[in-house]
Amino acid sequence: MPRLYREAPLNSVWEGSGNVNALDVLRTLAREPGAAELFSAELAEAAGADARYDAFAARLRASLADPGQLEYRARRVVEDMAVAWQASLLLRHAPHAVAEAFCATRLGGEGGLGYGTLPAGADVGAIVDRALAPA
């Protein structure tokens, strides 16, 4: 009984802050009729810049179009939204080498499970130069 009582507050937040964030996004999508369309419009700004991005964004839009199943896939859908937005911003505003490496590793399946796993041919020099450039 003491263990159950001690763990009761954890159960109320559905396994942690990641799920709370995912539920907040789903709540916004449900309550704000234009939220998904605005998000899709934001992603459309980078359409055509990378085939992997276009395919990823299309799958995400299809996933968002099935609201009845969103709660069961909440964490994955919200993660995909974050990755798509990152890719969109990088494709529009970052040097090509940075956007290319991101799309290859996060959208194209050319990366491993650890960050920093880059595909052969990635322009690592340009990425490092950007990171070391004075602000």
Q: How far apart are the first and last CA of the chain?
A: 56
Residue 19 in contact with residue 26, Cβ under 8 Å?
no
Q: Which residue shows structure tokens 């964004």?
A: 57
Indicate the number of domains in the chain.
1
Q: Which two tokens stand for residue 42?
A: 């934001």
What integer is the mean pLDDT of 3-10?
Answer: 63
Tens digits of residue pLDDT in 93-133: 999 999 999 999 999 887 776 777 888 888 989 988 888 98
- Say whether 110 sits in a helix, a strand or coil: coil
Inform me whether the pLDDT recorded for 14 exceeds 60. Answer: no
With a cut of 70, say whether residue 58 has pLDDT above it: yes
The yes-or-no verdict on residue 40 having pLDDT over 90 is yes
Instruction: Kindly indicate the confidence band of residue 7, based on its pLDDT and cuts at 50, 70 and 90.
Output: low
| Domain region containing 38 | 2-132
Q: Which residue in 59, 73, 64 sits closest to 107, CA to CA?
A: 59
At residue 19, the pLDDT reads: 79
pLDDT class for 8, splitting at 50, 70, 90? low
Alpha helices (runs of H) in the chain, residue ranges in sequence order = 2-11, 17-31, 35-44, 51-64, 74-93, 96-102, 124-132
